[in-house]
Structure formats: C-alpha cells, structure tokens
Structure 1
Amino acid sequence: MISLNLSASLNPGLTRIRQNPTRFSALHAAAAADKPFSCQYPLSLPQIPNLQIREKPFLSITKRSRSVPAAANPDGGESESEEAAKKEKKAKNLQLGIVFGLWYFQNIVFNIFNKKALNVFPYPWLLASFQLFAGSVWMLVLWSFKLYPCPKISKPFIVALLGPALFHTVGHISACVSFSKVAVSFTHVIKSAEPVFSVIFSSFLGDTYPLAVWLSILPIVMGCSLAAVTEVSFNLGGLSGAMISNVGFVLRNIYSKRSLQSFKEIDGLNLYGCISILSLVYLFPVAVFVEGSQWVQGYHKAIASVGKPWTFYFWVLLSGVFYHLYNQSSYQALDEISPLTFSVGNTMKRVVVIVSTVLVFRNPVRPLNALGSAIAIFGTFLYSQATAKKKKIEAGDDKKN
C-alpha cells in the first residue's frame, strides 16, 4: 500500500477525503465501475509549480479489448478474397494461353514462309541476315518510342555478350542452311536432339547428371537416327546444318549462363534484342563474302519463278518479322512459367510445327520416319522430366546448405 505523506496545509483536498471516508469509498467504487462520479464539492489541489495534471483519472480500470474473428459467409460460399484470387488465376492462365498460342502460331508462320522464300531464293545467308535485321529494327523501334524499357548498355555487358551472340549466329545460320536443303520437318526432328549436345558439353565443363538424364537421351539418338535413315529428302548438308545448329544454340545457352550471371537486371526480351543486333554485325559481312556475288542473279530467278515481286517480298518480310516475334513470345512465356513447363511446351511446339509443315508442303512421310520422329520427340519429353527432377534436388541441397 502506498502512503502519501502530505500535510493538510499543502493538500486540503486530501484532508477533506480523510474527514469524509464515505465519499472516498463512493469515489473508489465509481472509478472501479468505470462510471463518472459527481462530487458535491470539488477536490482542489494547491498551485504547485511544474505539476502536470493528466486528463485521465488517477485511479482507473481499463477493459481488455477482445478481437472478434471475422464471421464466415452465412451462405456457405467463398469469401471475396478467394473469389478475387480465383479470378486473378483465371486471367493469368488466359494470358499464358494467349502467349503460348501466339508462340506456336508465329513459329508455324515463320517456318512456312521461310521455306517458301528459300525454295525460290536458295541463299540462306542473306535471308538469315534479313531476319536478324528485322528483329534489330523491331527492338530499336520499341526502345526509341519507349514502348519497352531500354536496357542499360555498358562495356562489361557487351564483352559478356560477345560469346553468346557468336554462338547464336552459328545456330541461326546453320538452321537456315538446313531448311534450304531438306524438309522443314526433318530439320526439326534433328533439332530435337539438342538435349544430347547439352548433356555432353555440360559434362565436359564439369556438370554432373543422374542416370535418368543419360537414359533419356537414348531414345532421342535412336529416333533421330531412324528418322534420318528413312527421310525421303535426306541431304548430308541439311543433316550437318541441323546438327551444327544444335551445337551453336547449346553453347549459346551455356555461355549465357556463365557470362551473363551478373546482368540479371536485363530481362529476356532485351537480352534477345541485344543478341540479335550483335549477331547481325557478325553475320552480314560473312554473308556478303560467302554468297554475295550470287544475290542479284538469284533475285531475278526468284521473281521469275514467283511471277509477282510483291509476293516474294511478302514471303521474305513475314519470315523476318515472325522469326523475331516467335522468339519474343518464347521469352515472354519463359518469364511466366517454370523451365519444365517451357521445355514441355517447346517439345509440343516442335510437334505442331512438324505436322503443320508436312500438311502445307505435302512432304511424303514414311511410317518408319514418323516412328523415328515420335521416338525422338518423346525422348526430349523424358529429358525435360529428368532435368527438372535434377534441378529440384539441387535447389533442395542449396537450401540445406
């Protein structure tokens, strides 16, 4: 109990309380009940310097506030937050479906008109250069009109980009050479063997793979071999071009991971735009040296075979525009989904392209050739599953460490 040793001369209010204990008890009871108390005569305090009086009473009892949980929906339905989350998920799935649809459609259009242009103008070096030129102009327009944020270009970034851009150039021109010599479907079957080169080159650089990954590349090799042996339009130049394209794109991916790790602020679309511009610088001078002397004569032959110049221009323009657009859509899809889903989508895209080009160009397909193509593509699907499990295991190990 706390006692106040104040004299009556200094605290007349306290003296009055002592003289009338009944009123003091009433005051205490009123304060405990958290009710206002009216006194017939005020309790006065003397004027003491530097004494601050609180607005709240000296003696008070506070009630604890209890938090009441949100009431459930009386109708038994979903809450507003759950409905909003479902709507957002549906919108995201719809957007992703549109991106996938555009990716497939643009790839089909590119392959069809690229092959049409190469059939009448068999000079893949110039056509590949124009496709990179179209992509470069597209990105420059987006950056100039601020339709897409321009990346911050620095000297270290350009140096780090030299290797990936070089291998991208090798992969792109080799694929175009293959398209000019064999059927589009055959080139895509051989290009489905890209995981084989990825595992081999990555292993040489120190990466390790589980047995499931090594086993998954066996059907790819078997399927591609069967498809090559039974291909009606088989050409050694077309086969070697597709194989070199696989090597180029695999080395591009490997060097991109190793040299561009410190430039993660640059997104995939801007990265591909910079690679396209630098690849054009690499490719066009070599294209002039390799086949530049044949372009004028080949142009006149192409116009004569087509009949209308604008038809040929239209084919070339569409091949260039849609080459960049389908790559742009693939990067946008990769930003929204997991690498496994992207790999599966890429495998299915190859199937759609093969079937579409076979129907458009009416390429004869033997049963064994179709079987080999199916086995090779199924092997790429198994490879995607096996590598996804490997990445999950590595991610779990990183968290433990």
Structure 2
Amino acid sequence: MLTLNLIPASPVTFSKSTHQFHPLKRIHNPKTFAYSPVFVNKSSPESPKVCNFSKIHGYPFGKIRALCTKTTHFTDIPENPSRKPGSHVTRAAAASESNPEGEADAAQVAAKSKAKTLQLALVFGFWYFQNIVFNIYNKKALNVFPFPWLLASFQLFAGSIWMLVLWGLKLQPCPKITKPFIVALLGPALFHTIGHISACVSFSKVAVSFTHVIKSSEPVFSVVFSSFLGDTYPLKVWLSILPIVMGCSLAAITEVSFNFQGLWGALISNVGFVLRNIYSKKSLQNFREVNGLNLYGCISIISLLYLFPVAVIVEGSQWVQGYHQAIATVGKSSTFYLWVLLSGIFYHLYNQSSYQALDEISPLTFSVGNTMKRVVVIVSTVLVFRNPVRPLNALGSGIAILGTFLYSQATAKKKSAGGEKKS
C-alpha cells in the first residue's frame, strides 16, 4: 500500500510572460518519475531555467513519496495485489464470449485448411490413378502394336487436342503467344520429345516395372549435367546417388525381361527430361507468367511437330501391316482403339495432374510423391501383367527407389540453405 505524504505548500510566484510550459520537453529525474515536465524561461533562452514539479511546494497535491526506491517506470509497476489469481482467465473467457466473430474466423480458417487438404489428396489420387491407367493401356497397346513412334505421336496429339479444347472453351486461360516465346520453347520441346519417345521405346521392349526402375536414376543425370554447367552440390547429394546406381545395376542384372534397347531407351529418356528441365530454367525464365499447364500444352504441340515426321520416316511403312496384325490379335478393333485412346488421354491427364500438384505443394513434397508414384506403378503393373520378379531384382528396385528418396531430401535441404543465404 502506498503512503501519501502531503507537504504544506509554500507560496511561489510565477511571472506571467517569462515562463511557458513545454510538455514535450523532458528531463530525466531518477529521484521521482523517469521523465518530468519542465518549465522553460523564455526571457533567457541561452540558459533556460528548469523548474521540476518535485521541487515546487505549490504543486496542488504536494510531494508524493513512494515506498519503492527504484526509478518508477511503467514496466516496473507491480501487479495489483487486489487482483484475484486467475482473474485474467475469466476476462479472456468473457472477451471470447463477447467476440463471436473471432470464433467464426477461426472456424472458417479450419474449414479452408480441411478443404485444401482434401483437394490436395484428390490431386494426388488422380495423379497416381491416371499414371497407372496410362502405363497399363500403353503397355497393352504396345504388346499388340509394337510401334512406339506412332503411339508416342498419338499421345502428344491427344494432349494437343485436349489443350486446344480447353483454350477454345475458355476453361483454361490461353497464353499469349509471341515469337520470343515460341523460340524459347523450341529447346525444351525438343528434349521433351527425346525423353518421351525413348521411354515409349523402352516400354515396348521390356517390362514396365523395369523401365520405371531405370527411370528412377534420373537424379544421377541431373547432378552430373548440372555440375558440368557450374552448379555445386554438397556431399550428401553425391552420396544419395550411390544407392540409385547400385540399385539400378542390381535390378538390370537380375531382370527377367532384360533387353539392351529397353535399357538404353530408359537411360536416354532420363537424359532428355533432365536436359529439358535444365534448358527450361534458362530459356523460359522471362516467361514466368505462363502457368505450368499452359506451358506443358505448348510443349506438347511443338513436340508433336517434331516427332510425327520422324515417326513416318522410321516406321511409317510398317503401320498398315502392324494394324491388321493387332486387330487379329485382339479380336475386336474397338478394343484396340480403346487401348490406344486411353493411353493418349491418360498420358496427358497424369502430366496435367502433376503440374497441378506442383503448383499446390513444395518441390520436396512433389519429389517424394513422384518417388512413391513409381512404387505404386511398379507394383500395379507387376500385378496386372504378372511379370516374374526375382528377390534380387526386387531388392535392387527398392534400393534404387530409396536412393531417389534420399536424393530428394538432400536437394531440398540444399535449396533451403541457398534460400537462407540469399535472404
């Protein structure tokens, strides 16, 4: 409890014209308040007289002495001892009850978070499902019609038509097409074409599971080519690619359906897609306003223009005979058409879903999702086509996929460290 000591006031005389109160000018006074108002003598500006309230006995309330000897600051004022423990909790509860809008906002944020999580789960689900459907029907079509150049061309054609329909119906905003933009797309589209046709060649020669195991070695080519271009990687990244190489080698040695064309097709596909990604960063950095789906649609159209003329030269003379053999093998032409159509539609759909997923999640989550996608595809195709899998082959596939996962973790840490250094 504070003691109030009132000292009788002694008469003090003030001049009417020589003093002016300046409330903003403060002088530190450790004996009383931390900062005290002063009076300034206007008649002598060179050495103004300071009049402190604590020394003026005529102050209306006299001199106040506190029991505390420390300098009085707002932060040093002790809590009111009359306040009951936990009274602030009661006030907070009363405030929350009197503020229903805050609870409504919190509920709305929680609902939006749940909706976004559900949307992301659906995107991942569609991505995996569409990839599985593509790999199954693409392999079925290639088993009866072993002409990957024509089938790859049709898949790009189906994607191009799909994007034109979206743009025509204004379901997707049409990108602004300019000559510099087309020139910038030529390189990435060329490497995309190489990656796509090489993968189709590999699918036509070996089991789908083996192709995906070899394609999981894509990070190895990414690190090597990027290092040649001047990028540096920490030791963890280099160590993460060792199990990828070991796993792919073990899987290749023990693969029942091993074929050198299938192996080289998968490896060349990795090279093509890695160079596409590297070249895209350099040539398309001035066109970041184009979203991923539109960018992929434009690349598909240009890739079709690259691929189809070469496909006619490579295997065009065998298409008619191969078509009749495929119909005779399947028994119904409608079944063969359905397989080819589904392979083309779902090829574009799973790529579209991957771009949508990349827009919603971080690159690390996308890399992990892509790794798990390969696991799901490998298991699904093995079950559908009943491909024989040896224990060492399964072990090598697992090691390679584990290395891919470790690589995604290591590169994500490298990117986050680089971002912190830049900031």
TM-score range (shorter-chain normalised) is: 0.7 to 0.9
2:282 is matched with 258
**1-side partners of 2:328 and 2:209: how far apart?**
27
* 1:326-341 superposed matches below 5 A: 326-341=350-365
1:98 is matched with 122
* 1:31-42 superposed matches below 5 A: none
1:383 is matched with 407
**2-side partners of 1:76 and 1:139: how far apart?**
49
**2-side partners of 1:70 and 1:265: how far apart?**
48
The one-letter code of the counterpart of 2:272 is G
The match for 1:116 among 131, 140, 156 is 140
* 1:307-386 superposed matches below 5 A: 307-386=331-410
1:130 aligns with 2:154: yes
Aligned-pair distance for 1:73?
2.3
The one-letter code of the counterpart of 2:217 is A
Structure number having the greater strand percentage:
2
1:82 aligns with 2:106: yes
**2-side partners of 1:201 and 1:187: how far apart?**
21
Show CA shifts across 1:165-190 (max 9, x none): 00000000000000000000000000
The one-letter code of the counterpart of 2:374 is R
The match for 2:316 among 267, 274, 292 is 292
2:204 is matched with 180
1:42 is matched with none
**2-side partners of 1:260 and 1:170: how far apart?**
19
**2-side partners of 1:75 and 1:232: how far apart?**
72
Aligned-pair distance for 1:70?
10
Give the secondary structure class of the aligned counterpart of 1:150: coil
**1-side partners of 2:167 and 2:97: how far apart?**
53
**2-side partners of 1:347 and 1:340: how far apart?**
11
Show CA shifts across 1:257-289 (max 9, x none): 111001000000000000000000000000000
Give the secondary structure class of the aligned counterpart of 2:95: coil
1:13 is matched with none
**1-side partners of 2:129 and 2:273: how far apart?**
22
Show CA shifts across 1:344-381 (max 9, x none): 00000000000000000000000000000000000000
The one-letter code of the counterpart of 2:96 is N
* 1:181-220 superposed matches below 5 A: 181-220=205-244
When the two chains are superposed, the root-mean-square deviation of aligned CA atoms in Å is 1.7
* 1:12-23 superposed matches below 5 A: none
Structure 1 residue ranges (4+ consecutive) displaced by more than 4 angstroms after TM superposition: 68-71, 75-78
1:273 aligns with 2:297: yes
The match for 2:245 among 221, 233, 238 is 221
Aligned-pair distance for 1:87?
0.8
**2-side partners of 1:171 and 1:111: how far apart?**
16
**2-side partners of 1:156 and 1:360: how far apart?**
46
Show CA shifts across 1:20-47 (max 9, x none): xxxxxxxxxxxxxxxxxxxxxxxxxxxx
1:160 aligns with 2:173: no
Q: TM-score, normalised by structure 2?
A: 0.77
1:238 is matched with 262
1:394 aligns with 2:418: yes
**2-side partners of 1:252 and 1:72: how far apart?**
58
Give the secondary structure class of the aligned counterpart of 2:96: coil
2:46 is matched with none
Aligned-pair distance for 1:80?
1.9
The one-letter code of the counterpart of 2:409 is Q
**2-side partners of 1:284 and 1:148: how far apart?**
26
Give the secondary structure class of the aligned counterpart of 1:72: helix
* 1:6-17 superposed matches below 5 A: none
Structure number having the greater helix percentage:
1
**2-side partners of 1:80 and 1:73: how far apart?**
11
Q: Which runs of 5+ in 1 are unaligned?
A: 3-67
Q: TM-score, normalised by structure 1?
A: 0.81
Show CA shifts across 1:286-309 (max 9, x none): 000000000000000000000000
The match for 1:283 among 288, 294, 307 is 307
The match for 1:73 among 66, 90, 96 is 96
Aligned-pair distance for 1:72?
3.2
**1-side partners of 2:413 and 2:193: how far apart?**
31
**1-side partners of 2:171 and 2:127: how far apart?**
20
Show CA shifts across 1:129-177 (max 9, x none): 0000000000000001111100001100111110000000000000000
**2-side partners of 1:152 and 1:291: how far apart?**
36
**2-side partners of 1:148 and 1:167: how far apart?**
25
The one-letter code of the counterpart of 1:373 is S
1:247 is matched with 271
The match for 1:107 among 131, 134, 137 is 131
